[in-house]
A = this chain, B = another copy of it.
Amino acid sequence: MNFCSHCGAAVTLKLPAGDNLPRHVCNQCGMIHYQNPKVVVGAITEWEDKILMCRRAIEPRYGYWTLPAGFMENNETCGEAAVRETLEEAGAQIALGPLFAFVDLPHISQIHIIYRARLLNLDFKPGEESLEARLISESEIPWQDIAFRSIDYTLKCFFEDRRRGLFELHTTIMSISVPETYC
């Protein structure tokens, strides 16, 4: 950040009065520009014994497999974001279930939140950001080609929970920098 998005003047990184972290402060109008973590939301969607996965048609991680997920937008709920991303990336209509995975990624200032969901029908097809959208059983999961560690974690938690017949909320922290940023 170099300029004030409000008045266009240069900003300086400094500690505002009463604050304890340096912020980008406008030299002209004094506006303080806070920068905060972003929320990525997705769904692990079931149909019979399979789950819905997409192969990415965009960077980062072009060609790798993921669960439909993306940045939460202003003026939507987390759940709405999961439904929207599943429709956009897999062309799939779902009924959303409970929160399932909550992953902190402080090194990239993101939270990844995944809900469980049920697929409503088989009328789905890959969206513009996906090369493929497929229903995949546990034995077919391409474990070596998963796009992001948070998705790998979610998948493993899901199949473990399904085996024991009890789904719970799973939370973890992934703090080592690896190429998993959503751009």
Contact = CB atoms under 8 A, between A and B. Distances in A.
Nearest to A58: B18
Contacts of A175: 77
Interface stretch (A101-109, A116-124, A137-145, A159-167): A101-109
Interface stretch (A4-12, A46-54, A60-68, A150-158): A4-12
B75 A104 contact: no
Interface of A: 1-8, 10-11, 18, 20-21, 24, 33-39, 71-80, 88, 98-99, 102, 104, 106-107, 109, 111, 128, 169, 171, 173, 175
Contact of A5 (B33, B38, B98): B33
Nearest to A34: B71
Task: State the copy count for this chain.
Answer: 2
Contact of A80 (B11, B35, B76, B106): B106
Given A35-B74, A78-B102, 5 more contacts: A2-B8, A3-B7, A18-B128, A77-B104, A169-B169
Residue of A2, A77, A102 most packed against chain B (CB within 10 A): A77
A171 to B, nearest CB: 6
B169 A99 contact: yes
